[in-house]
Structure 1
């Protein structure tokens, strides 16, 4: 990206909010055919035209009039209406005569966050799991409008959209899956139109979704905001990131002992791998003594497979599961395929296929985080002309290059304020019921900052709209390999920060610690996520009495002899252990060394103890990236939120609380 491009881009961003002073009526991207408007409140409709021109709007047998200001902007606030429709709207003025048809009145929800909110039914796994749902989806009273991805250096007053689309097999495939199931549940309950404003972007951080005003008390973001607004500084960042990435690539290439001068030495058919380590089945190397950080770089995997006589000299297909991040796969010393993250299926030319012994070698380049072959979904097969052979089982493996993570590309969309400017600011002043939010994965290395940042973002949005609307969010799911022993966890700390945000009024959190997947940061089960958000909405946004919308949440504790008694809120009709005795409870004494504990339900409390901890002072529950098997629920079937009775002050020492 060169300086000229950056300068032009920034100029366009700065001018995007300015409307031609001689233009006819222009409406924002949110307003158009099939839109859903918010019931029971004054409904803002706005646009731009020549300054000081007359605007007339007809809607629901009423006529509204106004004039544009010197900036060409006009706004009319329609009288509140009950749910219903369809209605039509006619807007005249400045030589324009615009008709908007098929308008419904109902409840509108902003659906924002990162990739798990953006996750659509187009996902291959979702297509399979929800095939019947997609094929039979038909509800004209649930509609979504998708906001086009855009970052900006200053607050924009308009955005591009893909138009309002109703639930229909052709449209539903592009719905946010979480938002779709959320809306489906609300419609089933209240039988009113539900509008979804889908404004999300995968891999994004909360600070990118917060305005400059919202971040004003967090000086750590000031420099990045300055860079975003300064073309020369932004160009420097792009160039530095490019150079750093190239240096990393060259170092891996230079130091890879298995690949020298263009020759894949460790892929050779007769290469001696007898001194390599062995893993019992395809897996990440992190799970075999090479855990991150600083175990990125290059690893090699090798495997011998035996093929029957009738396979020799015939084309074959290798199914080799997933890989993280990039693979180069060889068959009997010859490269047969390469790709980035994803399921691999490679054709093997007949000339390479032998009867008996054949060698598969995989060179894996891992840029950051965990790396290696993925053990889920499990799919390792040889598919020949007449047969399919399971080739799952042991792999030899060896590290070739040890290096830290690859410097990432410079992504201005993740700069503080960038997405608020481009994708949230343009939604003002559209009226809506509330927000559903699914984000946090990209902030897991900033859990203590998130304690301040996330509430600040919510308060910022509320201030921008001038009202305290309901804000419902999803706590991070379980993810990564389960720990054999109690460990510290960035993901657990981020979940804790999310829980602390519940101190804000009209917020609710949906716990999905039981819906995640160890090897996929995008779990396919979005139906239960949507249903739990809908439960939260029914209580927090719609004020239903007596509804249990949350699983058990930690309240306080009491130490009694060698046991700790835990007290909870949101227990509904009682605590329960799903699928056997309670798991994922850990306990510690003054040495702060946590060990697995025995935990039993006693009425509305849980009693925790361990023979190895005679004087306990703290308990943790489900405190890991993936607390596999955690099973404390209430009788309504909602899981308990992970917690710890100790907490880190973020500076020097661990503090404990009662």
Structure 2
């Protein structure tokens, strides 16, 4: 998931996404009635109910819903919009839209509309959850309506987007959505909410696996509030201009142009057979360079050149050979200075034909230019091996020592060119393609489960997520509508001791957004999982519904676990106080776990913890003067503090010491 973030490795992702998205902004997609408005839809109650579409300029359009009538006249561009007065919950209704043509919408309800957005954990369908078969069979509530939007990315804001609405039935919940059914988190939220809030609920599934928050945020908001993205947005603007002028440049060509300007190896033709590599460093391949023991490569992202000699026996040079390996992420390869192949993407096996004209008996030189954009980098073995297969089938291994030389570190160089037109991770393209077409539709609020793709820039997310929320609210024009966030679930194997954690830093950014923002709710899933996609989405939906019942629908219920309020140090121990602290306990009456403590040296150790009333006392014999306490501060924390409602405490830290992602962009 995190191997192909906002990087050149999305060249490979583009191949996977090509059938799912389009860069066209669909300027001609102007139907008489916006295709998001369909049979079985839910209209938001309590606010004016707009319908909109396009026709000939000056034409009149009339809408009827029972005794309610609304009229509009198309403007100079043919756009029309008519609104019914605010309607109470109810239905079903028939809506008749008439003008140059007539469309009739059947079985329309009035209730509350919630958008379910984010990445894969929101996209994850009911078919993937625990007890899926029984959950699908029981998913039969005609007062819940499910809308799966037509997902497209776009360089410029789109006007129209299709949405397929359906009554919640086992068949609809299983066939909707994009990943084995309709959004499980969304459905379980609506199911639980309907037990207490007896109005129709419309869910719009608008999630896309693997996507970062910047893709869901408008260009204007990013330029204004998160300036780190301005260079990428300049590229977006240039791509949009090229699209308007009907121009297209191959991404491989653009990458080579980038290398020629920024990589001294490309400019200096280090692939040439005559290149003197005697002063280059030594590294063993196959393997990733982060684990090679070479200090300057321990955290290197960028262009690295690798070179090795091999010998061909007499006669082998008379037939074509095949060079086999894999690269992480992208590569271009030469043999004796002749280009033999290039691949974008860390997944495919490389099997490059080496023409006999490029070979010679005895000494030969293979050179590989590797681009690593994030995570591990290097050459690895393919399913067919790591070496050269000569014409008679003999294998010549290339395992062992190679020479390396750094070409272009990504830090300090201009951004890599991006295949923007099919890259769903690119800034603003999902706002343009999915969010913008929904803006005329009144909503109750948003459920947001996203962040995994931003963990490497968790500190930046402190600005990015609030910017996105402000952006959506400003553009919807409905004020500070509810925005309910799922804090990331536990991921990976639990660790034996304290450690820094990017996932914890992302959770902190989510918590900061909720604490400092208006009408933003937060429920934690940090105690759920271990799996990147935890299957207990029933609990996620239940906790979201609790938040909504408390913060949106005004019920007097406990909807949050304990949240850290203050720390006082007394007699070598830290006393922690919390909000939402009635009935503090350890989950299932087990041990109280998840706390670590540090002194002024900032070295954390495991801590003992005990509950005293509505406080927790944290200490360690190793720390005589506590300076900081952290709770559930790990990718996959082992933590047990709950309140009387059984809701888990939110992860926190009392310090503000710089984390792993401080300064990451």
TM-score (norm 2): 0.70
Q: Quote the offset at 1:549 in angstroms.
A: 0.6
SS of the aligned residue for 2:186 comes to helix
1:449-468 equivalent positions in 2, closer than 5 A: 449-466=460-477, 467-468=479-480
- Partner deviation per Cα, 1:199-220 (whole Å, 9 max, x = no partner): 1111111111111222223222
Q: Which residue does 2:139 correspond to in 1?
A: 137
1:363-374 equivalent positions in 2, closer than 5 A: 369=375
Q: 2:62 aligns with which of 56, 60, 70?
A: 56
1:449-598 equivalent positions in 2, closer than 5 A: 449-466=460-477, 467-502=479-514, 503-517=516-530, 520-545=531-556, 547-598=557-608
Q: Quote the offset at 1:11 in angstroms.
A: 8.8
Partners of 1:117 and 1:200 within 8 A in 2: yes
Q: Which residue does 2:645 correspond to in 1?
A: 636
Aligned residue pairs, count: 516
> Cα distance 1:118–1:408, how it changes in 2: closer, same or farther (>3 A)?
farther
> Cα distance 1:65–1:574, how it changes in 2: closer, same or farther (>3 A)?
same
Q: 1:108 aligns with which of 93, 108, 113?
A: 113
Q: Quote the offset at 1:91 in angstroms.
A: 1.0
Q: Which residue does 2:228 correspond to in 1?
A: 220
Q: Which residue does 2:98 correspond to in 1?
A: 92
Partners of 1:450 and 1:497 within 8 A in 2: yes
Partners of 2:211 and 2:453 within 8 A in 1: yes
Distance 1:50 1:470 in 2: 37
Distance 1:460 1:651 in 2: 28
2:619 matches 1:609: yes
Distance 2:225 2:198 in 1: 43
TM-score (norm 1): 0.71
| Structure 2 unaligned residues grouped into runs of 5+ | 1-10, 12-17, 177-181, 264-270, 272-282, 293-297, 303-327, 330-345, 348-371, 378-398, 411-415
Q: Quote the offset at 1:409 in angstroms.
A: 8.1
Q: Which residue does 2:305 correspond to in 1?
A: none
Distance 1:145 1:400 in 2: 56
Distance 1:514 1:114 in 2: 19
> Cα distance 1:460–1:485, how it changes in 2: closer, same or farther (>3 A)?
same
| Structure 1 unaligned residues grouped into runs of 5+ | 20-24, 260-284, 287-291, 297-324, 327-339, 342-365, 372-397
2:218 matches 1:208: no
Q: Quote the offset at 1:160 in angstroms.
A: 2.6
Partners of 2:123 and 2:183 within 8 A in 1: yes
1:72-91 equivalent positions in 2, closer than 5 A: 72-91=78-97
Q: Which residue does 1:382 correspond to in 2?
A: none
1:120-131 equivalent positions in 2, closer than 5 A: 120-122=125-127, 125-126=128-129, 129-131=131-133
Partners of 1:551 and 1:639 within 8 A in 2: yes
Q: Quote the offset at 1:151 in angstroms.
A: 1.1
Q: Quote the offset at 1:149 in angstroms.
A: 1.8
Distance 2:639 2:660 in 1: 30
> Cα distance 1:465–1:603, how it changes in 2: closer, same or farther (>3 A)?
same
Q: Quote the offset at 1:258 in angstroms.
A: 7.6
Q: Quote the offset at 1:229 in angstroms.
A: 2.6
RMSD: 4.0
> Cα distance 1:435–1:651, how it changes in 2: closer, same or farther (>3 A)?
closer
Q: Quote the offset at 1:417 in angstroms.
A: 1.1
1:442-453 equivalent positions in 2, closer than 5 A: 442-453=453-464
Distance 1:66 1:414 in 2: 38
- Partner deviation per Cα, 1:465-513 (whole Å, 9 max, x = no partner): 1211000010011101222221111110110010001121111011111
Distance 2:639 2:400 in 1: 34
Partners of 1:116 and 1:522 within 8 A in 2: yes
Q: Quote the offset at 1:536 in angstroms.
A: 0.5
Distance 1:178 1:536 in 2: 14
- Partner deviation per Cα, 1:547-596 (whole Å, 9 max, x = no partner): 11110010011011210100101113434444422112111111111111
- Partner deviation per Cα, 1:267-325 (whole Å, 9 max, x = no partner): xxxxxxxxxxxxxxxxxx99xxxxx96799xxxxxxxxxxxxxxxxxxxxxxxxxxxx9
Partners of 1:579 and 1:631 within 8 A in 2: no
Q: Quote the offset at 1:29 in angstroms.
A: 2.0
Distance 1:11 1:462 in 2: 25
SS of the aligned residue for 1:213 comes to helix
Q: Quote the offset at 1:399 in angstroms.
A: 11
2:148 matches 1:169: no
Q: Which residue does 1:414 correspond to in 2?
A: 425
* More RCO (CA 8 Å, sep 6+): 2
1:272-351 equivalent positions in 2, closer than 5 A: none
Partners of 1:57 and 1:89 within 8 A in 2: yes
> Cα distance 1:400–1:534, how it changes in 2: closer, same or farther (>3 A)?
farther
Q: Which residue does 2:634 correspond to in 1?
A: 624
Q: Quote the offset at 1:62 in angstroms.
A: 2.3
Q: Quote the offset at 1:227 in angstroms.
A: 1.1
Q: Which residue does 1:428 correspond to in 2?
A: 439
Partners of 1:548 and 1:572 within 8 A in 2: no
Distance 2:490 2:87 in 1: 42
Q: 2:45 aligns with which of 39, 59, 62?
A: 39
